[in-house]
Chains A and B, each alone.
Chain A
């Protein structure tokens, strides 16, 4: 069974610095990490490998600059078997449609597979659109917000997913796409053996030519959306401040405030 896990390198969220004049991210000053939510996708793939009765081979796939190779090695250190990097200047500036298109094109070139697994969203773009868009483009079934892998075999998988309204148990034929949430379970840590393997594994790189697509199909030129402007949100509201001499006085103010608004 072949499994592809999609991972992305993102800036560490709390350390983002913005260039005040251009409104863009100062990428060079930011530490790049594996998208934290992708760790759960890797964890899910490893759980599936354990649950599946036969042989399973997990390939982590990423798209990004050459440096994004790091996240593939991290995935291998956790237990993935191989890594593929989509990297070319022409891929830069892709929106979710163009990103999905590029990944879909790659996947069509690779060996047949049972599952494509993604995290819920990336912490930089926060769209969560690449998984379902990829499924749409490849005409595959997708199960989003997967919280548990119940059963897996060659034909189908039984999964639990969580929505605002409750829990669903779904059965999906394979091949298919699933996106997983944090509920899937704490991601395991890299092992020493994994780290050694990660160092020695060759990461296969696909550029524009190797992928066999034209410049205008990918990256910014292949994107259907355009960013018009970037700006800071305006916040305005007036308030007043009291300095409580002790907790009792503070609480009395809060209770009075709640009473005035018929909460109490």
Chain B
């Protein structure tokens, strides 16, 4: 039997989340190398436009429809997926390294006794064996490690969001959608009492402009300048280097780098960031980069399209004032 590559789609607020399309792009590359099919597992309630998953690369969609699958509940997901994965025996299962993926995948792996690699930045197939090669940051993000799961199936991995662009949407692609209506007898021990959506805020990975600060800002208070400038730019968010997150100047969700988020905005503005390899790896795919740093030898300049040698604390207030003037 041909063992397909599977991706676990992500659903939010009754809609297919875009990370699903990125996962299809990851999965397609592997499926092509293995000459296997690409299948998507989607769990939800009253979901529409499942054909989009085909348009973005899937050969087959297994859609599990049930009122209890309307929002993510790790126990119910596992109740549906564990027997299914045992029966189908996929070669590979991929999910996004989101809060959902990072919860359900290790939970499933624990139950299935399957190898799982977290937060991969690249995936490949080993030529001789056909095994999945999973590359991820290791040792605190100082190096990359390639990992494989030689003795058991499925080989499971989570990949970080924004790590790959979705394939071109192609409405001529054909595929099969199988709707499964599982019987869910499980009385889950976890009950979601309330969901409060976050107020609209441009997330770091979706922003067109990321303005990121490092130790060169000298004082945690100066991050407020970055936030003020960010507010003056459309679709903008604030990032940070690992060093300042470790020092507690700003929260971890702002961290860009191997051990933080990967971003690819139109413009990445690195302020007072020297550009350790760990940081560069998270922003190197930005369309363009502006670097502001006092040290002309800082490695960040090697990746900058516009490098400004100067004191960020003198430049930022002027930038803020000039942007404010333009707004008027």
Asked if A264 and B326 sit within 8 Å, CB to CB, the answer is yes
Chain B's closest residue to A132 (CB) is B106
A/B pair count, beta carbons within 8 Å = 277
Which residues of the other chain, A, contact B246 by a CB distance below 8 angstroms?
13-14
The stretch of A63-71, A207-215, A227-235 in contact with B is A227-235
Asked if A229 and B145 sit within 8 Å, CB to CB, the answer is yes
Interface bits B150-191 vs A (CB < 8 Å: 1, else 0): 111000000000000000000000000000000000001111
Known: A225-B117, A242-B306, A243-B296. A261 touches B288 (CB 8 A): yes
Chain A residues touching B, range: 35 or more
Write the nearest CB–CB distance from B145 to chain A, whole angstroms: 5
Contact of A244 among B116, B189, B233, B308 (CB under 8 A): B308
Q: Does B243 contact A (CB under 8 A)?
A: yes
The stretch of B35-43, B220-228, B314-322 in contact with A is B314-322
Q: Please report the C-alpha to C-alpha distance between residue A13 and residue B209 in the assembled complex, in whole angstroms.
A: 29
Write the nearest CB–CB distance from B123 to chain A, whole angstroms: 13
Asked if A16 and B140 sit within 8 Å, CB to CB, the answer is yes
Which residues of the other chain, B, contact A135 by a CB distance below 8 angstroms?
107, 110
Which residues of the other chain, A, contact B296 by a CB distance below 8 angstroms?
241, 243
Which residues of the other chain, A, contact B137 by a CB distance below 8 angstroms?
126
Chain A's closest residue to B203 (CB) is A164
Asked if A136 and B149 sit within 8 Å, CB to CB, the answer is no
Known: A132-B110, A136-B111. A237 touches B74 (CB 8 A): no
Contact of A226 among B78, B147, B203 (CB under 8 A): B147
Contact of A168 among B119, B152, B194 (CB under 8 A): B194
Q: Does B100 contact A (CB under 8 A)?
A: yes
Q: Does A110 contact B (CB under 8 A)?
A: no
Which residues of the other chain, A, contact B1 by a CB distance below 8 angstroms?
none
Interface bits A161-173 vs B (CB < 8 Å: 1, else 0): 0111111111111
Chain A's closest residue to B152 (CB) is A224
Q: Does A189 contact B (CB under 8 A)?
A: no
Q: Does B113 contact A (CB under 8 A)?
A: yes
Which residues of the other chain, A, contact B302 by a CB distance below 8 angstroms?
235, 237-239
Contact of A232 among B115, B143, B188, B284 (CB under 8 A): B143
Chain B's closest residue to A245 (CB) is B310
Q: Please report the C-alpha to C-alpha distance between residue A244 and residue B315 in the assembled complex, in whole angstroms.
A: 10
Asked if B193 and A171 sit within 8 Å, CB to CB, the answer is yes
Main secondary structure of the interface of B (DSSP, over half): mixed
Task: Name B's A-contacting residues (CB within 8 A).
Answer: 12-13, 74-75, 78, 98-100, 102-111, 113-119, 133, 137-152, 188-198, 203, 208-209, 233-234, 242-243, 246, 251-252, 258-259, 266-267, 269, 277, 280-281, 284, 287-292, 296, 301-311, 314-315, 317-319, 322-323, 326
Asked if B290 and A254 sit within 8 Å, CB to CB, the answer is yes
Write the nearest CB–CB distance from B258 to chain A, whole angstroms: 7
Q: Does A253 contact B (CB under 8 A)?
A: yes
Most chain B Cβ neighbours within 10 Å, of A25, A170, A242, A254: A254
Which residues of the other chain, A, contact B242 by a CB distance below 8 angstroms?
13
Asked if A129 and B106 sit within 8 Å, CB to CB, the answer is yes
Interface bits A108-147 vs B (CB < 8 Å: 1, else 0): 0000000000000001111111111111110101111100
Which residues of the other chain, B, contact A170 by a CB distance below 8 angstroms?
190-193
Which residues of the other chain, B, contact A123 by a CB distance below 8 angstroms?
140, 259
Which residues of the other chain, A, contact B110 by a CB distance below 8 angstroms?
97, 100, 132-137
Write the nearest CB–CB distance from A211 to chain B, whole angstroms: 18
